[in-house]
Amino acid sequence: MRKNIVAGNWKMNKNLQEGVELAKELNEALKGKTINCDVVIGTPFIHLAAVANIVDSDKIGVAAQNCANKVSGAYTGEVSAEMVASTGAKYVILGHSERRAYYHETAEILKEKVGLTLANGLTPIFCIGEVLEERESEKHFDVVKSQIVDSLFELSAEDFGKIVLAYEPVWAIGTGKTASPAQAQEMHAFIRKTLVEKYGNEVANNTSILYGGSANADNAKELFSNPDVDGGLIGGASLSVDKFMPVIEAF
Ligand code: PGA
């Protein structure tokens, strides 16, 4: 059966020392605790190796927030999936709306990144979600379906089975405006139905679909209690242990 996952996305926050400190604190806080979900922290690239070294890998998985769509070579400033894997990280967040919007990541580029991530034994946490205008004009289901189809549906069932999805309505990210539990469940059920149609029940039922967008200690329990919401991708509330632990413990 699919896993419950609470994944932090630090975005471009915390210098190296602060990030290492936060990872240490989280590791301490989880020690000896029974946790009913997998915990992941998505750090900036330069933190990955240090953080992966510090945390108990049975308790905390480490994620990059991006990787290159090329294997290696003359791509100044880029970081490859192989490099990410060599740090001890296990996940890569891909297709975050901030990367789609500010860095012009297209469905095609994301398809390449997903392929390289899988080829290097990493788990993609693939983000999808509509902007406010698309929801208001009732295009949100079509938009989310296209994002999935265009970047992921050429994968074999076996490879698709390695993907984690994160539904993040863009209007809810960093805005303090969360999708209601009913809105989240409605979209997650739609996504799962889309997966059933393409890959069948087994793959669809085994795919973890996380919710992201202003999820926090106050709303996590209600969001996670929905049958198709298998956890969260947490931005702001992952930046301190005080705020992140209650989200983890919502399971
Ligand atoms: P937020 O960010 O929790 O700060 O809204 C979520 C995300 O962008 O992954």
| Cross-strand pairs, 166 | 127, 210
Query: Cβ(210) to ligand 1 under 6 A?
Result: no
Q: For ligand 1, what atom is nearest to the CA of residue 214?
A: 5
Contact between residue 91 and residue 124 where contact means Cβ atoms under 8 Å apart: yes
Residue closest via CA to ligand 1's atom 6 equals: 235
CATH superfamily of 5-248: Aldolase class I (3.20.20.70)
Report the separation in Å between the CA atom of 57 and the middle of ligand 1, taken as the mean of its atom positions: 24
Query: Cβ(95) to ligand 1 under 6 A?
Result: no
Report the separation in Å between the CA atom of 72 and the middle of ligand 1, taken as the mean of its atom positions: 30
Name the residue of 168, 210, 216 to mutate for ligand 1: max ligand atoms within 8 A of Cβ: 168
Is 0.85 surpassed by the pTM of this model? yes
Burial of 118 (0-12, 13-18, 19+ CB in 10 A): buried
Tell me which residues of the chain have a pLDDT lower than 70: none
Query: Cβ(212) to ligand 1 under 6 A?
Result: yes
Query: Cβ(101) to ligand 1 under 6 A?
Result: no
Alpha-carbon gap, residue 132 to 213, rounded angstroms: 13
Report the pLDDT value the prediction gives residue 176, as an integer from 0 to 100: 84
Q: State the DSSP code for 122.
A: P
Alpha-carbon gap, residue 94 to 92, rounded angstroms: 6
Alpha-carbon gap, residue 1 to 168, rounded angstroms: 23
Report the pLDDT value the prediction gives residue 122, as an integer from 0 to 100: 98
Alpha-carbon gap, residue 19 to 13, rounded angstroms: 8
Domain boundaries, the chain: 5-248
Residue closest via CA to ligand 1's atom 1 equals: 235
Catalytically active residues, by annotation: 96, 168
229: closest CA among 34, 3, 64? 3
Report the pLDDT value the prediction gives residue 183, as an integer from 0 to 100: 96
The residue assigned the tokens 């020392």 is 17
Name the residue of 65, 173, 211 to mutate for ligand 1: max ligand atoms within 8 A of Cβ: 173
138-163 in b/e form (b: 16+ CB < 10 A) is eebbebbbebbeebbeebeeeebeeb
Please, what is the end-to-end C-alpha distance for the chain in angstroms? 16
Alpha-carbon gap, residue 90 to 26, rounded angstroms: 17
Report the separation in Å between the CA atom of 9 and the middle of ligand 1, taken as the mean of its atom positions: 7
Report the pLDDT value the prediction gives residue 174, as an integer from 0 to 100: 87
